[in-house]
Chains A and B, each alone.
Chain A
């Protein structure tokens, strides 16, 4: 019974981990390919000083990519999930500030510049859900399908 419970728990954890990974990798591709365009979107939020806009536009997509890849293989799983939480908090604050200022923007989250989608409060709900999912991964022990789990078992056997 306990084994079955653990298996379900690990299955849920794996599903959440992979969902987060795919989302972040999907989100970063367009930004990495088009740094200037993403810089423009960061600048449009009018939150960061100009001197930090490009750094944000260059670094953030790569953090998303690395975190996504780490989540897929399950290496440094909790740290990666913690970073997804940090990024989601950042996105929520930025979107909330833009909505509060009644700025009509595209969120810049995915390749939405091409889709022409204007952001709304639904994005806050979506990012809040991702935040909760990330927090769940931070809270739970790495599941049995992660590299972290495999390495921990090897250390125990050694």
Chain B
């Protein structure tokens, strides 16, 4: 019985390998073949919700706030990117492109905004994967949109990554200690 199972699994592996070989060879031979590995992101469009809510892009003035304005910064990038460098005092809510932010994350943002008496929430998070430098993913806008849909006031998202933030003169720190 076990032998039969092993033989079937081995045959399945051989069929897969042979098919893969034919597939790759055919793809290489055809004029409209695609690269085996691409680092150019597909222009995907996957609408998530039927919502008319929208998030406003933050201006340079919004980033720093004013004397009467307390700003809560939300970093939507993965934890590793946040640990490398983030805005001083920013909280990290790693945004999942598939599942969005959790209810606990939304609740935490509400709690932090309330505790800090923040009147503006700036979400930033253009993530550049070190393994694929050409691939940039914007987590800021979808997270900001989710916050707007959760009826959180004063939410804006930053278009651009850490470089854009630094240009505004905002203070960044390179360790996550005490910020989250």
Binding site for B on A (CB under 8 A): 35-36, 39-40, 43-44, 46-47, 50-55, 57-59, 61-63, 65-67, 70, 76, 78-80, 82-83, 86, 97-98, 100-105, 138
Contacts and interface: CB of A to CB of B under 8 A. Distances in A.
A82 B9 contact: yes
B46 A97 contact: no
B46 A103 contact: yes
Contacts of B41: 43, 50
B37 interface: yes
B60 interface: no
B84 to A, nearest CB: 20
Q: Which 6 pairs from chain A and chain B are nearest by CB?
A: A79-B11, A62-B23, A43-B42, A79-B12, A66-B19, A63-B19
Contacts of A76: 11, 15
Contact of A54 (B15, B16, B20, B34): B34
Interface stretch (B24-32, B101-109, B148-156): B24-32
A101 B99 CA distance: 5
Contacts of A138: 8
Contacts of A101: 48, 98-100
Contacts, number: 113
Given A62-B20, A80-B15, 8 more contacts: A46-B44, A47-B98, A55-B37, A58-B27, A58-B33, A62-B19, A78-B11, A83-B15
A16 B122 CA distance: 57
B12 to A, nearest CB: 4
A146 to B, nearest CB: 14
Contacts of B44: 40, 43-44, 46
A67 B36 CA distance: 22
19 contacts: A35-B27, A35-B32, A39-B38, A39-B42, A40-B44, A46-B98, A50-B41, A55-B37, A61-B23, A63-B16, A65-B19, A66-B19, A67-B15, A76-B11, A78-B8, A83-B16, A97-B98, A100-B98, A104-B47
Given A51-B37, A55-B36, A79 B8 contact: yes
